[in-house]
Amino acid sequence: MSNLQKVIVAIITLFILVFTFEAVHARPLNKEQKPMQTESKNDSEEDALSVQVDGVGTLKDDVAAARKMAISDGLRIAVEQARGVMVKGETEVKDFAEIRDEVLSKTKGFVRTYKILDEKQDGNIYKVTLEVEVMLADPKAAAPVKMDEQKYSTKVPRIIDEIRFLSEKTNQLAESLRGRSKTSVFSVEDIKRLHRRYVVAAQVLRSIEPPAGKQEKINMLLNAVRLKMRAIAIFGRAIAGKEMPILLRRGFELNQKGNNMLQMLRSNG
């Protein structure tokens, strides 16, 4: 073996030893330590409306059957309650309210997930308290509202008007938080209402099937809404004093990304 070959082998051996040392001594992630997250685990989770309800079941001979009945009762109430919140949702864009109600009339509601907060037996009644995530429609199913070119050209601009209104309010909130003012024109309840309106807007977008060639625009609108929705959730926690500055900056970034996406849509007509 020549001297040059010996040098090459020595260098390769050194690299292997260094890599092996780092791999063996690398510090594993503690199971209790999780990466900091500001986004939800999936998109459908963000598009769901969260409600808390009570359900009851009549206890006859089988406690398990009464419990199952109580859960079913709670889920039914949750869907009805969520639809009621959506129908009564505030909006300054009248035409959007009409589109929203049209979509609601063609959907039955879909329970994305639920969590049992409390359960107990009271005599012959079994009671449960549930936290339920409700969507207008099953995201895996076909969109319930199909639009032709004429309907698309008249309805979608109204949806965009609603989204622009929400975007402007979110931008105002962001500027207020950037200024670090001690008082804000937005209360926690105001922010909750804004968030609910974003959820409804996202659900409406998910529930329509646009004509050929228009799906990309709907997807961009939906992505912009999701970015803004994530930002408003962070801003809400900041107003409540539950957010760290580093995550607040993440909220500003998400909001700006949503602004950029809406601007692109505006530029492209």
How is residue 35 written in tokens? 């990466």
CATH of the domain at 116: 3.30.1660.40
Total domains in the chain come to 2
CA within 13 Å, CB half, 245: 2
Note whether residue 25 is domain-resident. Answer: no
Q: Quick one: 183 and 115 in the same domain?
A: no
Q: Quick one: 130 and 204 in the same domain?
A: no
Note whether residue 49 is domain-resident. Answer: yes
Cα torsion at 159, 149, 262, 94 (round to 10°)?
-20
Q: Quick one: 115 and 178 in the same domain?
A: no
Between the alpha carbon of residue 159 and those of residues 84, 93, 106, 175, 224, the distances in Å are 20, 9, 17, 25, 13
- Residue located via tokens 């530029």: 267
- Residue type present at position 70: A
- Residue type present at position 249: R
What separation, in Å, do the N-terminal and C-terminal C-alpha atoms of the chain show? 70
Indicate the SS3 state at residue 244: coil
Q: Quick one: 50 and 73 in the same domain?
A: yes
CA angle centred on 39, ends 34 and 43, rounded to 5°: 125
Q: Quick one: 230 and 188 in the same domain?
A: yes
- Are 265 and 220 in contact by the 8 Å Cβ rule? The answer is yes
Give pLDDT tens digits along the chain (269 positions): 566 555 555 556 655 554 443 433 433 333 323 232 333 344 445 677 888 999 999 988 889 999 999 999 999 999 888 877 776 666 667 778 888 888 877 777 889 899 999 999 999 999 999 999 988 777 777 778 889 999 999 889 999 999 999 999 999 999 888 875 545 577 888 888 888 889 888 888 988 899 999 999 999 999 999 999 999 988 888 877 766 777 888 999 999 999 999 999 888 76
Between the alpha carbon of residue 208 and those of residues 60, 62, 100, 195, the distances in Å are 44, 43, 11, 21
Note whether residue 53 is domain-resident. Answer: yes
User: What pLDDT, on a 0 to 100 scale, did the predictor assign at position 241?
Assistant: 75
Note whether residue 96 is domain-resident. Answer: no
CA separation for the pair 199, 86 (Å, rounded)? 9
Nearest to 52 by CA among 117, 131, 116: 131
User: What pLDDT, on a 0 to 100 scale, did the predictor assign at position 124?
Assistant: 92
Note whether residue 4 is domain-resident. Answer: no
User: What pLDDT, on a 0 to 100 scale, did the predictor assign at position 5?
Assistant: 59
Note whether residue 248 is domain-resident. Answer: yes
CA separation for the pair 111, 68 (Å, rounded)? 15
Q: Quick one: 154 and 130 in the same domain?
A: no
DSSP string, 22-54: HHHH--PPPTT------S-SSHHHHTPEEEEEE
Q: Quick one: 53 and 156 in the same domain?
A: no
Residue 72 is part of which domain span? 43-91+107-135
Note whether residue 3 is domain-resident. Answer: no
